């Protein structure tokens, strides 16, 4: 009988300057030599749980069924925050209970969910409180890859942490939201869902944006539909409204940050 796949992804804010990511991989491979480890990203801004949640949403669903996704963006490391394991849409996740699973959970309810408590699957030694990625998450991941059922790791929690993001709102004929993420290209991802726009305006060619107090272009189907250096609005690959500049950085053009107001209106 063929062995179950041992595909695992890592998503952290560790960067690659230090040996933190390599240490996690070493622990996993020592306990599960057949593991196939793929990196989602290690360039999440330090401690930025919301950014990690959005990056996870943009990548994890496209991996094969039964992939294990390990998320260690964990500003509460060493505190009483819980470590959770679960399954969503046929894939497994291991994460700190800090809201980083929010965007995955929005897509559908957990098929399985536990708070890790079973000490049989935790290191039998004193664990430093500063590097749970290596000392707890990686060993747990190896156990799961080796066939340990998530249900054996601990009890089902009554609740778990999800973000309470402010929704976009309507003001007269405008839709008002805010920037929730800035990608490496300087594109501004907002909390305005595409569906809110398509339901509000029949003529999408009439939609224009304002970012803070600056005009931010009109809606187009792709970045290249405007001249280099020109602003535009797009529906991004995650189903949200995004402000961009063709071959430029919208974050610099508008001096925007997470939380900056974005207003859509008809021309």
pLDDT for res 3: 54
Within 8 A by CB and 6+ apart from 28, the residues are 8, 35, 37, 138, 141, 142, 145
pLDDT digits (tens, 9 = 90+) for 245-263: 999 999 999 999 999 999 9
Both tokens of residue 122? 């935790």
CB-based burial label for 118 (10 Å; 0-12, 13-18, 19+): middle
Residue with tokens 């060993």: 139
CATH architecture of 7-152: 3-Layer(aba) Sandwich (3.40)
Half-sphere exposure for 192 (CA within 13 Å, toward CB): 31
- Specify the CATH superfamily of domain 169-266: Bacterial fluorinating enzyme like (2.40.30.90)
CATH 2.40.30.90 occupies which residues in the chain?
Answer: 169-266
pLDDT digits (tens, 9 = 90+) for 53-107: 999 999 999 999 999 999 999 999 989 899 999 999 999 999 999 999 999 999 9
CB-based burial label for 227 (10 Å; 0-12, 13-18, 19+): exposed
Instruction: Identify the segments of the chain with pLDDT beneath 70.
Output: 1-4, 125
Half-sphere exposure for 95 (CA within 13 Å, toward CB): 28
Q: Which sign, positive or negative, has the C-alpha torsion 170, 174, 177, 183?
A: positive
Which DSSP symbol is given to 65?
T
Distance separating alpha carbons of residues 166 and 178, to the nearest angstrom: 9
204 and 197 Cβ atoms separated by less than 8 Å: yes
Q: Diameter of the chain by CA atoms?
A: 64
Q: Which sign, positive or negative, has the C-alpha torsion 197, 88, 76, 29?
A: negative
Rg (CA), the chain: 21
Q: Which sign, positive or negative, has the C-alpha torsion 8, 11, 14, 16?
A: positive
């Amino acid at each position: 009988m063929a062995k179950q796949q041992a595909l695992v992804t890592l998503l952290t804010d560790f960067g690659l300057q230090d040996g933190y990511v390599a240490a996690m991989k070493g622990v996993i491979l020592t306990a599960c030599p057949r593991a196939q480890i793929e990196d989602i990203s290690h360039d999440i801004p330090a401690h930025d749980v919301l950014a990690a949640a959005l990056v996870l949403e943009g990548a994890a669903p496209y991996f094969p069924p039964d992939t294990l996704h390990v998320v260690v963006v964990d500003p509460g490391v060493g505190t009483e925050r819980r470590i959770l394991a679960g399954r969503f849409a046929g894939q497994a996740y291991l994460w700190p209970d800090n809201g980083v699973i929010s965007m995955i959970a929005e897509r559908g309810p957990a098929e399985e969910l536990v708070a890790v408590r079973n000490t049989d699957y935790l290191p039998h030694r004193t664990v430093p409180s500063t590097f749970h990625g290596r000392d707890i998450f990686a060993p747990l991941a190896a156990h799961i890859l080796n066939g340990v059922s998530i249900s054996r790791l601990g009890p089902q929690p009554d609740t778990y942490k999800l973000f309470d993001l402010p929704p976009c709102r309507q003001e007269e004929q405008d839709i008002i939201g805010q920037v929730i993420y800035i990608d490496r290209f300087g594109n501004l991802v907002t909390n305005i869902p595409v569906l809110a726009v398509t339901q509000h305006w029949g003529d999408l060619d009439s939609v224009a944006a304002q970012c803070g107090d600056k005009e931010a272009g009109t809606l187009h189907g792709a970045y290249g539909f405007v001249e280099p250096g020109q602003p535009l609005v797009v529906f991004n690959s995650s189903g949200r409204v995004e402000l961009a500049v063709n071959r430029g950085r919208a974050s610099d053009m508008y001096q925007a940050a997470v939380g900056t107001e974005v207003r859509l209106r008809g021309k």
